[in-house]
Structure 1
Amino acid sequence: MSGQLVNQAQLAALFGVQPITIRAWVRKGCPEEVKGGGGKRAAYNTAAVIRWREEQAALAATGDASALDEAELKKRKLAAEMGLAELELSVRRGEYVEIEQVGALVADEYATVRANFTAMPGDIAPDLEGCTAAEIQELMMAKVTEILHGLSADDLYAPEAEASEGAGGSTEAATEAESD
Structure 2
Amino acid sequence: MVVKKTKNRGREVNRTELAEINGVSLPTVESWVRRGCPVVQRGGRGRAWQFNTAEVRNWREDDIRAEASNATHANKDELLLRKLRAETEQVELDLAKAREQVVPVDQFERAMTKAFGEVRAGLRNALPGRVARRLLGESDETKMKEVMLDEVDQILLVLSDSDLIHECDLEIEDDEEGDDEGADGE
Q: TM-score under structure 1 normalisation?
A: 0.43
Rg (Cα) greater in structure: 1
More helix by share: 1
Q: Which has the higher contact order (CA 8 A, sep 6+)?
A: 2
